[in-house]
Amino acid sequence: MKKYLGVLCLLLFACASIFVGLSIIEGGGDTQLQGEAWCDAMVEKPNQEWTDAETRSFARTCLYE
């Protein structure tokens, strides 16, 4: 029984590590964001030139905050 509990703990730790790693990678693209100035620049930029990441970042940073 202790053997299975140890394996379960290792699996949970591995899943948590993967989740944290992916969160860091996903958030790494937002380093260009500079608050209100970035939002204003994106408003001026034609929508056809926006990337998917910029669209998500704009919505998360400029609309929801």
CA distance 35 to 42: 11
Domain that holds residue 25: 1-32
pLDDT of residue 46: 93
Indicate the number of domains in the chain: 2
Tell whether 41 and 28 lie within a shared domain: no
Q: Are residue 40 and residue 28 in the same domain, yes or no?
A: no
* 28 shares its domain with 5: yes
CA-CA distance, 42 to 33, in Å (whole number)? 10
38 and 26, same domain (yes or no): no
- Alpha-carbon 24 to chain mean position: 7
The per-residue pLDDT for range 9-61, each reduced to its tens digit, is 788 878 777 876 666 666 555 445 568 888 999 999 998 999 998 898 888 88
Tell me how far apart the alpha carbons of residues 56 and 26 are, in angstroms, rounded to a whole number: 12
Question: Does residue 50 sit in the same domain as residue 27?
Answer: no
Q: How many CB atoms lie within 10 A of CB 57?
A: 19
Please tell me the predicted confidence (pLDDT) of residue 34: 66
- pLDDT for res 65: 60
